[in-house]
Structure 1
Amino acid sequence: MTASGKLGSLTRGVQTFCCDVAEGFFEITHNGFAVVGLAVVFSVLTLLARPDLRQAGESQLMTWLHARQVETLGLVPELDAIDRATALNPKELPKQQAAVAYWLSKKYRVAPEPLSALVAEAYEIGQRMKIDPTLLLAVMAVESGFNPFAQSPVGAQGLMQVMTGIHSDKYENFGGKLAAFDPVTNLRVGAKVLQECIQRAGSVQAGLKFYVGAALLAEDGGYAEKVMAEHARLQQVAHGRPVPIAPPPTLRTVAPNPAPTPQDQDAPAVIS
């Protein structure tokens, strides 16, 4: 055989070998993919037939992901934490309420988002209880300066500075007295107390004197005047009028009332 014949034979041999290897690799991978596919199908069918296995697998996966997040961030993630936040986007409020929220935010140096939630709640409660919502907001402004954790020396607590001990019955429907530090709950209870005071006294200004705990006193320390002045400003803001942002009114400091007389034992009382 000539040299060229040997070379051709060798080339054909190499080509045959390469083809055989390629076909073998294809068969192996094809069969391998088929096996993997069958395994996946079998696993899915098993999980569908055994929900308990699926739930266990999901639980293990979530536990692993949770551990990885804690390791990476150094924090325990709580995706539902936002549900506990007392906050709203002021841009989602009606124009009137948004104006009030922004004005109060600037004056009292409180973030507009939590104030927006309180403004929206005040308008809803006010409509239901027939109380001007800007009056409720004015009471909060004078009472606590929108500090939901405020407490007076005599035990008035929260945004509306309700005497939690005296009005503990009103907190029962909210889970107990600690709800006084939930801003929305405190607003609702305070609004109810204010409504009772106004009904008892016969007018808003006289009701505010009852609310501050000065029903048996000749003067209320200028409390009602401060609230009504802030109320008037908020009404103007709500109607779109420009109102200068003056320094916030001094938070009230009324001394504890003398012991109430028997006929006054059932009167609503808020003292700070």
Structure 2
Amino acid sequence: MMTLRACLSLLLIAIVLPASASLRQAPEPELRDLLQQTVAEAESFQDRFDAEVWLVDMSARLKRYVPDPVERLSLLRLVHQEASKAGLSPELVLALIHAESHFDRFAISSVGAQGMMQVMPFWKAELGRPQDNLTDNATNLRYGCTILSYYLKRENGDISRALARYNGSLGQTRYPSKVIGFWQDFWYVKP
């Protein structure tokens, strides 16, 4: 009988390695080491197994948008950490990023919002932190997750209204529907 760890290892090989790789081949040591390091540094997970499962699952989903495995795993660790710190679902944050920037850290909207979570630069002045770089993923995620968490609390947990506030479109449903659609159709993880 196969252990849970062996099943997870096979899943990792099947998802992370290219489709042409045979299950008889050992995973690339560099990629295996990278995943182990990422899991070890992921403080926001309850345990190592949860980190491995979530990172492998989300990495496979994110691969088409962020092809580099080092960048992808680093981003996923940051998303999970900042979302968890702000009391948000990491998958909801991934859906918001998907809708806002398609994971382009250098995205700039027509109204000047910057980075993956499309944070408005006026927030830097409001916080007295003009030196902050909103195209830095850690900074952008910290700002964006904090803002979304605030709006979610302000709207008493109403995700649709919180997303509309985040987008500056309160009273309209197009943007919240888009994010919730990405969340349900692409990023959602059943408990």
Percent sequence identity is 26
Query: Cα 1:193–1:144, aligned 2, differ >3 Å: closer, same or farther?
Result: same
- For 2:176, the equivalent position in structure 1 comes to 224
Q: 1:170: how far off?
A: 4.1
Q: 1:53-96: per-residue Cα shift (whole Å, max 9, x none)? A: xxxxxxxxxxxxxxxxxxxxxxxxxxxxxxxxxxx934543221
Counterpart Cα distance in 2 of 1:170 and 1:227: 27
Per the alignment, residue 122 of structure 1 pairs with 79
In the alignment, what sits opposite 1:201?
Answer: 155
AA in 2 matched with 1:123:
H
- Residues 1-272 of structure 1 correspond to what in structure 2 (within 5 A)? 89-90=34-35, 92-93=38-39, 94-106=52-64, 108-170=65-127, 172=129, 176-177=131-132, 179-202=133-156, 203-215=158-170, 218-220=171-173, 222-232=174-184, 233-236=186-189
SS in 2 for 1:162: coil
CA contact (8 A) 2:66 2:103 kept: no
Q: Is the 8 A contact 2:117 2:141 kept in 1?
A: yes
RMSD: 2.2
Amino acid at match of 1:235: Y
User: Which structure dedicates a bigger proportion of its chain to helix?
Assistant: 1
Asked if the contact 1:110/1:146 (under 8 Å) is kept, the reply is no
Q: Unaligned stretches of 5+ in structure 2?
A: 1-32, 40-51
TM-score (norm 1): 0.48
Structure 2 distance, partners of 1:225, 1:136, is 14
Work out which of the two has the higher radius of gyration on C-alpha atoms and give 1 or 2: 1
Distance 1:166 1:185, change over 3 A: closer
| Equivalent residues, number | 144
Moved over 4 A (4+): none
Partner SS, residue 63 of structure 2: helix
Whole-Å separation in 2 of the counterparts to 1:112 and 1:130: 26
Alignment gaps of 5+ in structure 1: 1-87, 240-272
Structure 2-normalised TM-score? 0.67
Q: Which amino acid aligns with 2:109?
A: S
CA distance in 2, matches of 1:171, 1:117: 28
